[in-house]
Amino acid sequence: MKHFTHKQMFRGKPITAEITVTDCGVQVGLHGGDKPHIGAVGIAAPDGKITVTQFEGHKEGVLCQQWCETLFEAANCPVVVSAGIHYDNASKEEILQVVEISNVLLGIGIRKLQSI
């Protein structure tokens, strides 16, 4: 089993991707900001079918979907992603910056997966 942690700072707080690669899949915790939490969970099944559950009032389902799709394509194995990133009073522009940081972290994660 391998474990990787990658962080990017935004507004003085980290956005963190914790990636664990097991013998049978990939597990990701994507969290950060002022109130790290679990806002959504995504699962890519062994056949690639993706299911996302997003809790009421949260918007992380989009991140879970993207991470599940991309990691499944890269690793060809089951993937589970939980995500919860919250910055108080974030503007629309700042939310787009958080999504971009998530994309950067995803790229780092893909490169790590390809190196093992």
Quick one: pLDDT at residue 54? Answer: 98
Q: What is the pLDDT of residues 5-64, one digit of tens each?
A: 999 999 999 999 999 999 999 999 999 999 999 999 999 999 999 999 999 999 999 999
What residues pair up with 20 in beta bridges, in sequence order? Answer: 3, 27
Q: What is the pLDDT of residue 116?
A: 82
Measured at the CA of 102, the angle between CA 101 and CA 108, to 5 degrees, comes to 90
**pLDDT tens by residue, 72-86:** 999 999 999 999 999
- Sheet containing 13-22, strands listed edge to edge, beginning at the edge strand earlier in sequence: 2-10, 13-22, 25-33, 79-86, 40-44, 50-54
Residue 93 has pLDDT above 90, yes or no: yes
- pLDDT, residue 14, reads 98
Cα 11 to the chain's mean position, in Å?
Answer: 19
Average pLDDT over residues 100-104: 98
